[in-house]
Amino acid sequence: MSRLLYDESNIPDLKTLTAKCYDDPAVCKAEGDIKRIAVLTSGGDAPGMNAAIRGVVRCGLNAGFEVFGVTRGYHGLWKGEISPIGRRDVSEKLQRGGTFLMTARSKSFTTPEGVMRAAKMLEVYGIDALVVIGGDGSFKGARDLARLGFPVIGIPGTIDNDIASTEYTIGYDTSMNTAMEAIDKLRDTASSHERCSVIEVMGRRAGYIALNVGIATGAECILVPEVPFDFNKDVVRTILDGRNNGKHHYIVIVAEGVGSATEIAAKIEEATGVESRPTILGHLQRGGSPTLRDRTTASRMAIQAVNCLMEKRFNRIIVEQNAVITDIDIEQGLAMEKSIPEQEISDARRLF
């Protein structure tokens, strides 16, 4: 993709537009036809983001839109890193992990001045609507642009599956399979050395990865942020009971929001005398070729995003509800809350 240049002196003043849209956002959403759209990825990368970009580009072109890619997320947006993107640019991207548009954290975009500058850049390039692929933080940035009257569509892409408005987020299935395969290998060495393996998976505020990977790998203990636990009762006693019944290896899965695997492993070894080794899977879970589910979900969500643009239904989040891809208002979606259902936690305990 070629890099376009801009002259900052030509950036239009959006103060009038902003005031008008705060008074009546529907007015700005309805003005003009959508001819040029842009797509960006923001926040942590997730397997399947490339499939979503590809879907937006190919469907957008087929719908008659000119399509642009924004490099490095919101950080690139306010700097004007916007370039045309075509079919050849998304060729051979479907099976690749990460995001070829790249992503970055942007402190500047968290300020009103940064949001205004980003909106001005979109005006400079004549962009009529923006598709944002990312998590809740990315959607909040999109909402801020929407409040300035700029049409946006959000596609959920995060391995944590913690976006409240949707049952599934792009990247979740791949990350769980990556973690599961790594833990299966760790179990082999744990059983050879009569060890306890304490494995830290991603999930600062959400334990979806930890819970499901723990079930899939037969873990003795699963620690998630959503559920308080008693270390002596839920961890130490479980390991001691297993040892007394002839067990020689143990797997403890810890979501990163619960605490450090290194500290928990040290406490387990001190309390039980069982050699305990920590493993932090970290960004390993973000990489790798996306699974079939992530590729197809990303593609279907991209189709729905373009449908919204064609039908002039702006400021929407694409979601999966009851296995159906649909969309909801971005303000409504960000106001929702999500937590692991109690039934799933109860079911997991029955397997210990």
Residue 150, CA atoms < 13 Å, CB-side half-sphere: 28
Q: Are strands 66-70 and 82-84 parallel, antiparallel or unpaired?
A: antiparallel
The amino acid at 16: T
Measure the CA–CA gap between 63 and 40, rounded to whole angstroms.
Answer: 19
Residue 45 known to be catalytic: no
Percent helix, strand, coil in the chain (nearest 5)? 45, 15, 35
Measure the CA–CA gap between 213 and 93, rounded to whole angstroms.
Answer: 27
Measure the CA–CA gap between 292 and 349, rounded to whole angstroms.
Answer: 29
Tokens 């059983």, located at residue: 191
Measure the CA–CA gap between 91 and 135, rounded to whole angstroms.
Answer: 25
The residue from 160, 162, 173, 327 that is catalytic is: 160
* Active site members: 160
